[in-house]
Amino acid sequence: MKYSLCIGAYPGKDEVYHLEKIKDHGFHGLEYYAWWDLQDLRRTAKEQERIGVGLSATCTKFISLVDESLRDAYMEGVRQTIEACKMLNVRSVISQTGNALDGVPRDAQRQVMVETLKRCAPLFEEAGIVLEVEPLNGLVDHAGHFLQRSDESVDVVDQVGSPNVKLVFDVYHQQITEGNVIRNATGYIDRINHYHIADNPGRKQPGTGELNYVNILRAIKGTGFDGFVGLECGYTIDTDEAIRQYKEEILSKVE
């Protein structure tokens, strides 16, 4: 498996600083969500080449997937994101779904999402990029978010029916929403493109809460998964020290 950090792991530092740190730690990528905030995409691309580590994931210019009136704007954002990804050699694009709409049947909103994703799928297939839909928890962090459960998210992906539309499975979110983490994280492996991890409660680095990440990551690795696992978390101690502890206390027991 490959391991990534997320922008903000080193507060106030830019993507180049993060990439240098990722290289130092022996990790493999940086998730930089708002690619449009990068000052110069060509500069970032050159720095990636120099350092030998690059951006592993970014996000769509987020517009609701469940509101049909916003479909054209969402797809235009997708087109812009794909062009940026081509410049930066990014192969994963994360999309949240937006909040459920009041007064609109849930099935209708789900079908709008499926249709929008079906229209996006050929764009990602042609570019060789995977669009990752992300379920989020509604109890603590994202009240009202449309997709929260992994089973419903998998159903959406299956209805789209494209190898380039999958899920990012966030262990923190799914622990809060449904528990049953190892069974879902491994049972849906063929629909998952990468994982986010953080402990619960608190969304801090693994080892600070209730989740047994040695067992979770062993189970994911046991499926043959060789994609990215991203540390999408805050840190209770100095970031470098937290990463060293994560490598020593968790990853060393997984590899």
Closest by CA to 211, choosing from 202, 200, 219, is 200
- Candidate list 134, 210, 241, 249, residue with the active-site label: 134
> HSE of 48 in the Cβ direction (CA atoms, 13 Å)?
20
Question: Residue 134 catalytic?
Answer: yes
Angle, helices 15-25 vs 239-246, to 10°: value is 30
Is 15 a known active-site residue?
no
Burial string for 77-111 (b: 16+ CB within 10 Å, else e) reads bbeebbebbeebebbbbbbbbbebbeeeeeeebbe
> Catalytic: which of 15, 31, 132, 232?
232
| Residues involved in catalysis | 134, 232
